[in-house]
Structure 1
C-alpha cells in the first residue's frame, strides 16, 4: 500500500470510528478487520500512534457491545 492510500485509509477510519456505535448496521468486526489490515501497512511512528488510538476506540466499542 502506498503512503497516500495508507493516509487516506487512516483518515477514513478516524472519521468512521468517531461516529459509529455497536448498533450500526456494519458490524464492529468489519472495522476491526479494516484497522488490522491498515495496521499491517504502517511504516512511520505517527501513523502507528493514530492506529493505536483507533484500536483503543474500537476496543471500547467492542467492550460496550459485550455488556
Structure 2
C-alpha cells in the first residue's frame, strides 16, 4: 500500500470510528479487521500512534456492545 492510500485509509477510519455505534448496520468486527489490515502497512510512528488511538476507540465500542 502506498503512503497516500495509507493516509486516506487512516483518515477514513478516524472519521468512521468517531461516528459509529455498536448498533450500526456494519458490525464492529468489520472495522476491527480494517484497522488490523491498515496497521500492517504502517511505516512511521505518527501513523502507528493514530492506529493505536483507533484501536482504543474501537475497543471501547466493543466493550459497550458486550455490556
TM-score, length-scaled by structure 1? 1.00
Mapping 1:1-67, distance limit 5 Å: 1-67=1-67
The answer for unaligned runs of 5 or more in structure 2 is none
Counterparts of 1:9 and 1:52, CA distance in 2: 14
The answer for unaligned runs of 5 or more in structure 1 is none
| Structure 1 residue ranges (4+ consecutive) displaced by more than 2 angstroms after TM superposition | none
Counterparts of 2:11 and 2:64, CA distance in 1: 24
Counterparts of 2:55 and 2:42, CA distance in 1: 13
Secondary structure of 2:38's aligned partner:
helix
Count of residues in correspondence between the two structures: 67
Counterparts of 1:36 and 1:8, CA distance in 2: 15
Q: What RMSD in Å do the two structures reach over aligned CA positions?
A: 0.2
